[in-house]
Structure 1
Amino acid sequence: MSKEDMGVIAKSDHELKLYYHPDNRIAKQSIAVAEATKAEKVLINLAEVKLTETQWGEISRLLDKDPSDLINTDHPFVKEKLSEHPEMDENQALKVLVHNPEVLNHPIAMRGKKVIQVKGINDIMKLQELDSKDAKLP
């Protein structure tokens, strides 16, 4: 197994990881939905936990997205510090995410090998296991 295959982020089918910034409008709802699952929860508050460029790079690869696709280009920081329509290469986007995680456009949920951007509160349901361990939400 090559170093690239191993990755730096631990993945477990029994664990639901949620990467979020508390300023994100859907973060609180995402946390509430995550709390309703029976999976072990790992809530990663990006205002308190600083991810590395390598970790952000792995998350973007797992999502099959360019790191710049994880950035909310309408965020005031982006508009004020970068430009109205920033063109960022992968390295620039990773640096922005490391130093200004509040620009993350959507919380990111991970369970096992499944990784999604949480654009609506029901998105986390896609990570629910189809067994009886998880609570059924209305």
Structure 2
Amino acid sequence: MGVISRDKDQINCIYASESDFGKQLEGYLESSGKDILMINLNKTMLTPTQWQDLSIELNIKVKDFIDFSRVENTTEDSNFSTNDYVTILENNPKSFIGAIIINGSKTEHITNVTEVLDYFNIDSAEIKKP
């Protein structure tokens, strides 16, 4: 995927800051000891190409990034095009589910903070408290 930079010494985290999940992420990511780039969708939205590339790489549909309970006049049964789902994310960043973590060639869509530990193969007992 060439449209998002990748570096094995840096973690790119795509998330929406409005959730408790989003607020906890950075602390968990810091346990990796790598540089962190937090991409908050409430401030910086990905391009349609980036959304589509991520969905292909993760082998999921753009629709699967959306919590439809947070979007008016839609349901999981709604049938829109990929571009329409990207537009929903652009207009409703709070509807983004979880976070996407990119480190080098490894990309994961996580939906809870404990998955961050699995991503780095860390036991929660190893996390250093500030």
TM beyond 0.5: yes
**1:58-97 correspondence runs (5 A):** 58-75=53-70, 78=71, 80-83=72-75, 85-97=77-89
Cα separation, 1, equivalents of 2:113 and 2:2: 28
Equivalent residues of 1:67, 1:90 under 8 A apart: yes
The answer on 1:11 being equivalent to 2:1 is no
Equivalent residues of 1:53, 1:98 under 8 A apart: no
Q: Residue 84 of structure 1: CA displacement?
A: 6.8
* 1:62-110 Cα shifts (integer Å, max 9, x gaps): 21111001111121xx2x2334742222121112122322210111111
* 1:35-71 Cα shifts (integer Å, max 9, x gaps): 2221110011111112111111112122111100111
Aligned to 2:127: 137
Aligned amino acid, residue 15 of structure 2:
Y
Equivalent residues of 1:73, 1:84 under 8 A apart: yes
Secondary structure of the structure 1 residue equivalent to 2:13: strand
**1:30-49 correspondence runs (5 A):** 30-49=25-44
Cα separation, 2, equivalents of 1:92 and 1:126: 32
Cα separation, 2, equivalents of 1:27 and 1:15: 18
Aligned to 1:103: 95
Relative to the length of structure 2, the TM-score reads 0.83
Relative to the length of structure 1, the TM-score reads 0.79
Equivalent residues of 2:98, 2:110 under 8 A apart: yes
Q: Identity of counterpart residues, as a percentage?
A: 24
Moved more, 22-31 or 61-70: 22-31
Aligned length: 126
- Segments of structure 1 that go 5 or more residues without pairing to the other structure are 1-5, 131-135
Aligned-residue CA RMSD (Å): 2.3
- Segments of structure 2 that go 5 or more residues without pairing to the other structure are none
